[in-house]
Each structure stands twice: as structure tokens, then as C-alpha cells.
């Protein structure tokens, strides 16, 4: 494909400012690439008209030397962000043809800074999934394939479309969301960089809610620097989200290249899972060695409640989801299936509008919150959550600056391979990422190498609250050592 689509965000930004390229030609090159890659099903809505209007405006500002931080940079938006006048579905049938009359705060900040919207990307329905197979629009096909095979693989999920679009050069970067690993796991599967910032760093206003105490927005990009640039625009206090943190947002790009000498990196023994492929173990060790070679100190640490994070998550997240998704009633927006009375209307609308995974989680959530079960399930899970957070707090109080773990327990798997039988098998994908959401911490996934079959693997760095800068500095060390991972074009 055209060279214009293989730019990093940082290089494109600089080329735009030098007027080596125009925002319009950059947008056009990406729109053409998206059209040629429809087989991947990464986008559920292409917005070429909006892209060209925004690119023209960016070019006008660039001509007047009034460039904004992201002027002319084409990005993709997960279909969980409400975009004014642009259909937003959370990839659920129940939102049908919902066209928001408002803009989410995060996307509004991207447009404020001059970014250009290429379209809305595919995701698991309501972000519930780890493979992008629960989308009402069908699965996303990963741009990656195993050596010498043409088996279609998942890009991970829930932000699978955003990850695939970034990996396949269908945008320079993308905005996703992460409730239990939905940015970091697909980033690891597609050889891209993804960061879930500290809870409260990005406003949740205008993002379709899944589990409000866990949901956070964050960027996907092809380099650590690009992710830092995008997060600087996405983050910030918003009075419209009472859980958004009123703390200043640093210029994250300035953290790139910062020395990591003397930093203390925790290696948690509980992340050494039984049955973990030796390649993952070796990669983890390799990552630790890279950080050590850059001057960091490695420390063995213990996070004793790690194994309880996933079961606690599967109580807390469905409980919050069952409450959040009560709003889909067939009355105010979205799909409506007529019934004999109001209850019949609700039940039929929700029965037909929700897919199987969403239905399953709403029902589990309803059960654990119901009379007689609340204490045994929900309250206990919230206490376990306190213990999980304490594990991290203890390590940070002991002087650990960041924690290094594998991002996922395996490389990407085939479409249909894990979606038929036991739901738990799919849930285990998030075993290394979910702890971070439960504790509200920032976590970044950085591509670190290929497995024997030629598929990307990622490493995760977990930071102190509101210390994303350390993650960018350390992530850059891994990126420098591992180099970028690029899929061979077959689509």
C-alpha cells in the first residue's frame, strides 16, 4: 500500500507541518486502504465525507501556520464512543440505528486537536468479549497469519477492529476502551501498542457504558511515542464525568527517551501460570533483561490475590453491566419489538436485541445482585477487589516503580476456536490484564516479539496511579529492543 499509510503518527504530524504532505492526501490514502481491506471487517462504518471535511479544515490551519497538536492525523474510533451525527451501535443490534446528538468528551478532544475521523471500528458487543467474535457485525479478521497458513485468526477484543485497523495501516492510531483488557489484549495479538490509563484519566462521558468502575478509554498506535501523543489529547478532567480525575495531564511525548536507570521493576511470581507456553515465559524473561540492560533494577515481588482477580471481575463487571444495560428498553432509542404490554415489549426487545454473551452477562449480573445473593457474591467480590488493590499498593510503597508481566497467556487463536463451548475458556484470556482494571492502575502492552508460528506477543507494564509517563519511558526501551512488528499484507 501507499507509503502514506505506513507513517507513524509522529512522522505524519511532522511531515504535515513541513507541508511535505497534505491532510487531504493522507486522508484519501487511508480511505483507499480501508476500502481495499474490507475483508478484515475492521470498520463497521466508514466516514469518508467527515474525513475529507476535517482534513480540509486541518489543511487550512496548517497553511496559516496555526497547526493544532493532531492536525490532519487520521484516526479510527471504536464504535463505543458516541459521535455526533454518526451512527453509534456498540456493535449491538439493540442500538440499531442510533445516531447520537452529542459527542463523547474523548473524541471531542481529538477533534479539538485537529484529528481526522476515518470511521467507527468493530468491537465485541458492548465490549463484552476477548476476540471480537460477539459483534453484531461479525468478527474482525486479524491482519496476522501463522507462517505458511491461511487460518483466519482473531485480533483479540473487545477493541478488535481498532487494533486490526492500526496493525493493517488503515489509520495512524485509534481510540479504544478497556474494561478488563480490551485494549491491551488486542494490542498484544496484533503487534500494536495499547495503553489503558489510570481510572479517571480519560472522561467516560459519551462512551457506551459497560462496567462503570472499570471502563477506561485509551489509544492504540504503532509506536510507544504515537500512543503517548494520542493519550495527551484524549486525557483530561471533565466536569461531566464525576469520576474523572482533576489532575493535570503531562505532555506524555516528553517521557519518551527518558532514562530508566535506577528504576525498580517488579516481577510478580503469581503471573507464572501453570501451563503457560514456554515462549511466553521466555519473552517475559527477555523483556526483563532488556530493562535491566537499560539500567533498571529487577525485583521479585508477590501479588498474592492475583488468581482471584478474574473471578471477582466476573461478578463486578456483569453486576455493573446488568445495571447499565437496563436502559435498553425499546422505548427511548434503538430496537423495539412490539409486545402485548410494557413488560412483554421490554422482554422481547431485549431478548432479540442482545447477543448471547451480553445476555449471559446481564443474567449473571442480575443474579449476583438479587435479594439473598448480594452479600455472598457482589459484596464479597468488592472486598476481594480491595485486597487486589492492596497487593499493588504494598509493592509500590516498597519502592517498585512499575511491574512487568506478559500481556496475554497465548498468541492469537483461530476464529471459532474458543467461542463455542465453555465461556470460562475465553475469559481466561484476560487473566494478566484484568487485575489492572480491578486496581484502577495504568497498564501498557508493548509488542515484544514473535512466537514460533510468526504471531506477535506483547509484554505488559503496570504503573503507579497517574504515572503513565514511567510506562511510556519503559515501553520505549522494550520497543527499541524488539523493533516494530509488521504483518505481511495478504488482504
Partner 1 sequence: MSVDAENVRRIAHLARIAVADDEIEHLKGELNAILAFVEQLSEVDVAGVEPMTSVTPMAMKKREDIVTDGGIADDIVRNAPATQDHYFVVPKVVE
Residues with active-site annotation? 78, 158, 182
Which is nearer to partner 1, 150 or 343 (by Cβ)?
343
Minimum distance from CB of 471 to partner 1 (Å)?
A: 17
Question: Length of the chain in residues, anyone?
Answer: 491
Minimum distance from CB of 362 to partner 1 (Å)?
A: 5
Minimum distance from CB of 388 to partner 1 (Å)?
A: 9
Minimum distance from CB of 91 to partner 1 (Å)?
A: 17
Which is nearer to partner 1, 48 or 250 (by Cβ)?
250
Which is nearer to partner 1, 125 or 451 (by Cβ)?
125
Q: How far apart are CA 273 and CA 460, in angstroms?
A: 15
Minimum distance from CB of 430 to partner 1 (Å)?
A: 13
Partnered with residue 295 across adjacent β-strands are none
Q: How far apart are CA 288 and CA 404, in angstroms?
A: 7
Minimum distance from CB of 122 to partner 1 (Å)?
A: 21
Minimum distance from CB of 290 to partner 1 (Å)?
A: 31
Which is nearer to partner 1, 69 or 250 (by Cβ)?
250
If 0-12 CB within 10 Å is exposed, 13-18 middle and 19+ buried, where does residue 261 land?
A: exposed
Specify the residue for cell string 447520537: 100
Which is nearer to partner 1, 15 or 345 (by Cβ)?
345
Interacting residues of 117 by C-beta distance below 8 A, sequence separation 6+? 47, 50, 51, 54, 74, 75, 76, 77, 83, 86, 107, 110, 111
Cell numbers at 215, concatenated:
471502563
Minimum distance from CB of 69 to partner 1 (Å)?
A: 26
Interacting residues of 409 by C-beta distance below 8 A, sequence separation 6+? 273, 276, 277, 280, 428, 429, 431, 432
Which is nearer to partner 1, 300 or 422 (by Cβ)?
422
Interacting residues of 114 by C-beta distance below 8 A, sequence separation 6+? 58, 61, 67, 68, 69, 70, 71, 72, 73
- For 380, phi then psi, to 5°, come to -65, -40
Which is nearer to partner 1, 295 or 373 (by Cβ)?
373
Which is nearer to partner 1, 281 or 352 (by Cβ)?
352
Amino acid at each position: 500500500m501507499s507509503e502514506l499509510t505506513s507513517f507513524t503518527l509522529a512522522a505524519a504530524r511532522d511531515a504535515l507541518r513541513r507541508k511535505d504532505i497534505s491532510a487531504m492526501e493522507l486522508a484519501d490514502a487511508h480511505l483507499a486502504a480501508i476500502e481495499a481491506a474490507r475483508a478484515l471487517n475492521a470498520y463497521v462504518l466508514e466516514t469518508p465525507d467527515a474525513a475529507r471535511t476535517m482534513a480540509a479544515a486541518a489543511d487550512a490551519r496548517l497553511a496559516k501556520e496555526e497547526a493544532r497538536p493532531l492536525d490532519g492525523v487520521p484516526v479510527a474510533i471504536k464504535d463505543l464512543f458516541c459521535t455526533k451525527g454518526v451512527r453509534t451501535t456498540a456493535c449491538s443490534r439493540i442500538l440499531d440505528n442510533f445516531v447520537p446528538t452529542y459527542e463523547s468528551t474523548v473524541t471531542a478532544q481529538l477533534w479539538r486537536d485537529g484529528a481526522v475521523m476515518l470511521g467507527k471500528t468493530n468491537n465485541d458487543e458492548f465490549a463484552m468479549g476477548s476476540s471480537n467474535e460477539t459483534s453484531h457485525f461479525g468478527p474482525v479478521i486479524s491482519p496476522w497469519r501463522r507462517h505458511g497458513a491461511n487460518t483466519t485468526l482473531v485480533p483479540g477484543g473487545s477493541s478488535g477492529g481498532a487494533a486490526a485497523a492500526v496493525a493493517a495501516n488503515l489509520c495512524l492510531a485509534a481510540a479504544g476502551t478497556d474494561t478488563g483488557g480490551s485494549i491491551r489484549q488486542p494490542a498484544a495479538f496484533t503487534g500494536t501498542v495499547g495503553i489503558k490509563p489510570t481510572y479517571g484519566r480519560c472522561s467516560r462521558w459519551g462512551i457506551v457504558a459497560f462496567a462503570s468502575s472499570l471502563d477506561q478509554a485509551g489509544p492504540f498506535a504503532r509506536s510507544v511515542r504515537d500512543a503517548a501523543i494520542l493519550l495527551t489529547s484524549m486525557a483530561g478532567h471533565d466536569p461531566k464525568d464525576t469520576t474523572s480525575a482533576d489532575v493535570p495531564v503531562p505532555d506524555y511525548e516528553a517521557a519518551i527517551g527518558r532514562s530508566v536507570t535506577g528504576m525498580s521493576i517488579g516481577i510478580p511470581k503469581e503471573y507464572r501460570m501453570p501451563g503457560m507456553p514456554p515462549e511466553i515465559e521466555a519473552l517475559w524473561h527477555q523483556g526483563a533483561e532488556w530493562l535491566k540492560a537499560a539500567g533498571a533494577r529487577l525485583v521479585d515481588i508477590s501479588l498474592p490475590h492475583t488468581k482471584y482477580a478474574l473471578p471477582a471481575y466476573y461478578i463486578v463487571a456483569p453486576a455493573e453491566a446488568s445495571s447499565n444495560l437496563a436502559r435498553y428498553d425499546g422505548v427511548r432509542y434503538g430496537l423495539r419489538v412490539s409486545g402485548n404490554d410494557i413488560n412483554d415489549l421490554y422482554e422481547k426487545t431485549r431478548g432479540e436485541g442482545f447477543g448471547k454473551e451480553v445476555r449471559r452477562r446481564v443474567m449473571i449480573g442480575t443474579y449476583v445482585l438479587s435479594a439473598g445473593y448480594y452479600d455472598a457474591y457482589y459484596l464479597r467480590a468488592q472486598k476481594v477487589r480491595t485486597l487486589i488493590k492492596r497487593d499493588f499498593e504494598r509493592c509500590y510503597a516498597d519502592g517498585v516503580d512499575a511491574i512487568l508481566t506478559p500481556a496475554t497467556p497465548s498468541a492469537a487463536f483461530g476464529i471459532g476456536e474458543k467461542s463455542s463451548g465453555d465461556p470460562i475458556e475465553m475469559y481466561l484470556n484476560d487473566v494478566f490484564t484484568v487485575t489492572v482494571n480491578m486496581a484502577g492502575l495504568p497498564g501498557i502492552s508493548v509488542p515484544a516479539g514473535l512466537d514460533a508460528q510468526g504471531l506477535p506477543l506483547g509484554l505488559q507494564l503496570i504503573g503507579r496511579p497517574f504515572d503513565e509517563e514511567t510506562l511510556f519511558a519503559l515501553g520505549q526501551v522494550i520497543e527499541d529492543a524488539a523493533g516494530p512488528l509488521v504483518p505481511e499484507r495478504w488482504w
